[in-house]
Amino acid sequence: MKPTDINDPNYFHKVVDCQWACPAHTPVPEYIRLIAEKRYTDAYMINWYSNVFPGILGRTCDRPCEPACRRGRIDEQPVAICRLKRVAADYKSDISKHLPIIPKKKNGKHIALIGAGPAALTVAADLLPLGYEITLFEKDGVAGGAMRTQIPRFRLPVEVLEEELSYVIDLGINCRFGEEITSMRDLLAEGFDAIFVGTGAPLGKHVELPGFEEARDNIHTGIEWLANIAFEHVSSIGKKVLVLGGGNTAMDCCRTSRRIGGEEVTVVVRSGFDEMKASAWEIEDAMNEDIPILNFHVPKRYICEDGKLVAMEFEKVRKEYDKNGKRLLIPTGEDPVILPCDDVLCAIGQENSLPWVEHDLGIEFDKSELPILNKRTFQSTHERVFFGGDAAFGPDNIISAVAHGHDVAVSIHLSCNEQDINNRPDPITSLASQKMGIHQWSYDNDISNDVRYIVPHAEKAKTLHDVNMEVELGFDEALALKETMRCLNCDVQTVFTDQLCIECDACVDVCPTDCITFTANGKESDLRSALLAPAKNQDQDIYVSGPLNTGRVMAKNEDLCLHCGLCAERCPTNAWDMRKYLFDTAKASA
Amino acid sequence: MSYIGKPKFQHPQLETNELGLTRRDYEGSFTTLCAGCGHDSISAAIIQATAEMSLEPHRVAKISGIGCSSKIPAYFLSKSHSFNSVHGRMPSVATGANLANKELHYLGISGDGDSASIGLGQFCHIVRRRINMLYIIANNGTYGLTKGQLSATADLGSRTKSGDESRFDNIDMATLAIELGASFVARSFSGDKKQLIPLIQAGLTHKGFAFIDIVSPCVTFNNTDASTQGYKNTWENYVALSEIDFVPMREEITTSYDAGKEKEITLHDGSVIRLHKTGNNYDPYDKENALHHISQHKRQGKIATGLLYINQSTSDYHELQDTVDKPFNTLTHHDLCPGSDVLADINNTFR
């Protein structure tokens, strides 16, 4: 193999599994160390610049970082990254002086943002410091988008939402709330320098089966129903509730139902329990609230009596795979299952809705009515129009919407300066030695062996009676400190300088996870199997040095490295060094 | 030494041996030697060798003298019997232990100071007495604990970090061991675990006195370009007389054996040492030839390594002395004091 090019910004970035997995590439280990130092405000600001809504995301993020966390590969569970982010938000002090300074003198460019959700607000946060004038249109009377309408208050208190929305809005956005845009043609005519569409995927899908029309008054789509709860248009539901669907919206629907009158709430899914799309922790929270989940039940019809919904009929199925490995649901032939119900909530998916974008403006759409976009720049086929968040590629999550927002801001900034928007700026990186003394590092390499700490919950008897009472209490400072010590500091990289190596094997002997070997160079598969414990995880690279004095090379498996620094401590010649790698995605305002 | 211990986390796919233990279960406490010390690699090689052999840790006794080398039993096999004895007196303690219980695996760890200077007499006698054990010398040609004076194994003309030149011929411990009747003599290098691990396994399995002289550079005091026992010189000048594999008795021998290129040595328990010839057709059964090769390589500034000499036909101390079959700790009162009838029989033999 050729020597690894550690100057490639992605090489060490990939080693920081959590940051690599985060759509916004938040520097996770860096803020976790700051939390350990009780520097909550600094930890918060690192998050703020990366993901804009740390307090919201610290409660509601889909946490792609956690399944990626290296700790999960050497221990039973990953670090509770998401809940540590919330700690930074909960314990920070006043951040106003750390927010970006907005120039009084504007740069003359005027941008329109449509939809006050996470994507559009991210675009605003990135462009305002550069002197852009921003006008934000929102059909509702308040900002927040899906963060407000689709996430129940018992998961995200309204004060937390309002606080973080205001940090962005108060930077100086011209808000035109309660104003629904009905024509893109008219908007284009207003002469904005760029238009960003972040209107989400606001259409819920119904389950249309026999009996639907008759039962219609008691059938609701999940996201619209949740929005009605959020705006307090709805405050009760029948005693017996069926929730159709297995995603996070279904979990929010069933838990909300339990709090506003639902006594027997049941989630019913077509396929298997293990195929449910909802996050494992949300399923667990629902089950802890005495909500059964029935799997392999396919809905067949609504049953009404006297023009009112009384039950639903389901067919039991089992899973089989056909020759091509496709999953099939085969009826078991058992008697149909009748589940009595007063209300049905359909949470089987949601769709974009862009009827107000006329199709003759040069903005092209694909077969599924999604705009055709450049996946990197988010530019549509109209050079002044950009899409982001769920409006771009269909329903995803908040953190992806934020990541889109940062990219869109870069695109708009390049476009307004008449630069090639495909020529993206490089990320900002640094690699600095952490050596303080012979055996001292500026990071704490003495990681904790503890298992993951559980976030305390409020008393169930109370939370089930108050739809606005937050269930999770968050870590206190003591628990947070213990959890931070589980982080392996994967951003503190093992950097090898081949010219200094005397091939004494000290690093090989000390490495607790058998990452390092000195061997004859060869194909990647040879090097992967030459280690004391073979490097089978192909998703993780191996780090290969140039030839050493004996002609061998050093090959290091990055997969299970604990970043404990013992290789560098036991290295007599400093051929190994522990260097902190900071990676910041390029932002318009950076 | 480091402030943190070695983290307990290990590779989840780390192999387990027949006892269900991983290599990590054969470790000891964290090393306090200098970073880069060859002795740590010897510890690691012993850990790997014993783990692969599925030795039960509590059936191993590790005994050492004084010196950097003699600290290392603390860093491997923490579940074994251990005795850190007096300077140069490891052989006496090992002999005593071996007499008391011949059923354990004995692993003597010593250094060039401990065995070639203060303990040279003891060394000679334990070789001569053919104690069934593996005796390892971690040989760095210098007195590390007393800040780097030249030792008795430093090569003529070699220089330490402070510039002292060795004006005397060295004592070659492998040569000495062969001449005194050791039945398994090898030399290796701490940096070459591929060679060292099978040698340790073969030495532990060999019945009789096994000896491995391991060049183990002192990274702090004897690792300059002018030192013949530093990493650079050793990497450049060590010559493997034959490459070695160790196939334990339990494993079915599946790879084919090529008599033209390989030599197989079957040990008393059925394990096999397989030597791959490297072109010089080295015969490890020939004592004179072994001595010749060692001195010939030395004259050229080379270090002859590998299994230098083996003789499986000699008896060990217990056989020669016809000692009691059982370990002392299992002898009953009746074994030790069989009664007046037996005493009368013995007395009768003198009448």
pLDDT reading at A533 higher than 80: no
Residue B250 has a pLDDT of 67
Measure in Å the smallest separation between the Cα of B220 and chain A Cα atoms. 9
- Beta strands (DSSP E) in A66-124 are 110-114
Mean pLDDT of A509-527: 93
Tell which of A531, A570, A571 to mutate to test the B interface (max B CBs under 10 Å).
A570
B2 vs A570: CB contact, 8 Å cut-off? yes
B12 vs A74, A445, A571: nearest CB:
A74
Q: Which residues of B touch A562 (CB under 8 A)?
A: 7, 9
Distance, in angstroms, between B63 CA and closest chain A CA? 22
B268 found inside a domain? yes
**Which of A504, A532, A576 to substitute to test the interface with B, most B CBs within 10 Å?**
A504
| Start-end of CATH 3.50.50.60 domains in chain A | 99-202+352-416, 204-350
* Number of domains chain B is built from: 1
**How does residue B252 score in pLDDT terms, banded at 50, 70 and 90?**
low
Nearest to A339 by CA among A307, A301, A308: A301
Q: Is residue B328 part of a domain?
A: no
Q: What angle is formed at CA A61 by the lines to CA A57 and CA A63, rounded to 5 degrees? A: 125
- B35 vs A536, A564, A569: nearest CB: A569
- CA-closest candidate to residue A200, choices A384, A396, A412: A396
Contact B34, A506 (CB under 8 A): no
Structural domain includes residue B271: yes
Structural domain includes residue B349? no
Subunit contact A504:B13, Cβ cutoff 8 A: no
Three-state secondary structure call for residue A503? coil
pLDDT digits (tens, 9 = 90+) for A447-480: 999 999 999 999 999 999 999 999 999 999 999 9
> Tens digits of per-residue pLDDT, A439-453?
889 999 999 999 999
Provide DSSP, A184-248: HHHHHHTT-SEEEE-----EE-----TTHHHHGGGEEEHHHHHHHHHTTS-----SEEEEE--SH
Which of B6, B10, B231 lies nearest to residue A510, judging by beta carbons? B6
The model's pLDDT over A46-77, given as tens digits with 9 standing for 90+, comes to: 999 999 999 999 999 999 999 999 999 999 99
Q: Where are the alpha helices (DSSP H) in A344-493?
A: 390-393, 398-416, 460-463, 477-484
pTM score, two decimals?
Answer: 0.91
Which CATH fold topology does A204-350 show? FAD/NAD(P)-binding domain (3.50.50)
Counted residue by residue, chain B has a size of: 351
pLDDT at A352: 85
Give the model's pLDDT for residue A325.
87
A562–B23 C-beta distance less than 8 A: no
Residue A368 and residue A568: Cα distance in Å, rounded? 54
Burial A177-209 (b: 16+ CB within 10 A, else e): eeeebeebeebbeeebbbbbbbbbbbebeebeb
Task: In whole angstroms, give the CA distance from residue A503 to residue A572.
Answer: 10
Do residues B283 and B160 touch, judged by C-beta distance below 8 A?
Answer: no
Q: What is the CATH number of the domain that holds B313?
A: 3.40.50.970
Determine contact, residues B101/B327, Cβ cutoff 8 Å.
yes
A39 confidence band (pLDDT: 50, 70, 90): very high
Helix or strand or coil: residue B28? Answer: coil
Contacts of B13 in chain A (CB under 8 A): 533-534, 536
On the question of pLDDT at B1 being above 90, the answer is no
Q: Band of the pLDDT at B254, cuts 50, 70, 90?
A: low
Q: Is the separation of the CB atoms in B77 and B57 below 8 Å?
A: yes
Confidence of residue A369 (pLDDT cuts 50, 70, 90): confident
Amino acid at A460: K
Helix (H) or strand (E) holding A58: helix A54-60
The yes-or-no verdict on residue A106 having pLDDT over 70 is: yes
Contact B196, B134 (CB under 8 A): no
pLDDT at B278 > cutoff 80: no
- B176 found inside a domain: yes
| Count of CB atoms situated within 10 Å of the CB of A569 | 23
**For B232, nearest residue in chain A (alpha carbons):** A502
- Interface-testing mutation among B9, B41, B229, with chain A (most A C-beta atoms within 10 A): B9
Using a CB-CB distance cutoff of 8 angstroms, which residues of chain B are in contact with residue A440?
3
Closest to A48 (Cα-Cα) out of A9, A100, A93: A100
Subunit contact B14:A533, Cβ cutoff 8 A: yes
Nearest to A91 by CA among A118, A60, A54, A63: A54
- pLDDT at residue B99 greater than cutoff 60: yes
Closest CA to A452 of A27, A75, A65, A32: A75
Helices (H), chain B: 38-52, 68-71, 90-100, 112-116, 120-128, 173-179, 193-205, 231-237, 287-299, 317-321, 333-336, 340-349
Determine the average pLDDT of the residues in A487-491. 97
Q: How high is the pLDDT of residue A534?
A: 84
Contact yes or no for A212/A300 (Cβ under 8 A) = no
What pLDDT is stored for residue B251 in this prediction? 63
Sorted by sequence, the CB contacts under 8 Å of residue A377 that are 6+ apart come out as: A386, A407, A411, A421, A422, A424
pLDDT digits (tens, 9 = 90+) for A151-161: 999 999 999 99
In chain A, the N- to C-terminal Cα span, in Å, equals 36
Q: Quick one: average pLDDT of B78-103?
A: 96
What does DSSP assign to residue B97?
A: H
Average of per-residue pLDDT across A136-140: 95
Strand partners, B109: B64, B136
Mean pLDDT of B276-296: 87
B132-184 pLDDT, tens digit each: 999 999 999 999 999 999 999 999 999 989 988 999 999 999 999 999 999 99
Chain pair A-B, CB pairs under 8 angstroms: 100
User: Could you tell me the residue range of the domain that residue B74 belongs to?
Assistant: 23-321
Q: Is B2 within 8 Å of A550 when comparing Cβ atoms?
A: no
What is the distance in angstroms between the Cα of A282 and the nearest Cα belonging to chain B?
Answer: 28
Q: Across all residues in chain B, what is the average pLDDT? A: 92
A504 vs B: CB within 8 A: yes
Give B217 to chain A, closest Cα distance, Å.
Answer: 9
Structure tokens at B342: 């037996």
Given the structure tokens 């941008």, which residue do they identify?
A: A111
pLDDT at B257: 60
A 265-304 → B contacts, CB under 8 A? none
The mean per-residue pLDDT over the stretch B277-290 comes to 84
Q: Residue A324 is which amino acid? A: N
pLDDT for the residue numbered B253: 57
Contact B10 A445 (CB under 8 A): no
Looking at residue B268, its pLDDT comes to: 86
Q: Say how far apart CA A116 and CA A146 lie, in whole Å.
A: 9
The shortest CB-CB distance from B219 to any of A504, A560, A564 is to A504
Contacts of A566 in chain B (CB under 8 A): 2, 4, 6
Q: Which fold has domain A99-202+352-416?
A: FAD/NAD(P)-binding domain (3.50.50)
Give the closest-approach CA distance of B127 to chain A in angstroms.
30
Total residue length of chain A: 590
**Under an 8 A CB cutoff, do B43 and A75 touch?**
no
A502 touches chain B (CB under 8 A): yes
pLDDT reported for residue B270: 85
**Chain A residues whose beta carbon lies within 8 Å of the beta carbon of residue B28:** none
The CA-based diameter of chain A, rounded to the nearest angstrom, is: 89
Is the Cα dihedral B94, B96, B99, B101 positive or negative? Answer: negative
Average pLDDT on B95-117 reads: 97
Look at residue B279 and tell me whether its pLDDT is greater than 70: no
d(CA A363, CA B84): 82
Write down the mean pLDDT value for chain A: 94
Q: Determine, for residues B231 and A504 on separate chains, whether the beta-carbon distance falls below 8 Å.
A: yes
A58 and A91 in contact (C-beta within 8 Å)? no
With an 8 Å Cβ cutoff, the interface of chain B facing chain A consists of 1-4, 6-15, 23-24, 31, 34-38, 40-41, 43-44, 48, 190-191, 193, 217, 219-220, 223, 231-232, 235
Q: Phi, psi at residue B77, to the nearest 5°?
A: 45, 60
Verify whether the Cβ–Cβ distance A439 to B231 is below 8 Å.
no
Q: Which of A14-18, A254-258, B25-29, B271-275 has the lowest mean pLDDT?
A: B271-275
**Could you give the angle at the alpha carbon of A568 between the alpha carbons of B111 and A19, nearest 5°?**
150
Residue A26, classed as helix, strand or coil, is coil
Each residue's pLDDT tens digit, A172-182: 999 999 999 99
Question: Does B9 fall in a domain?
Answer: no
Identify the pLDDT of residue A510. Answer: 95
Residues of chain A contacting residue B12, judged by C-beta atoms under 8 Å apart? 73-74, 560
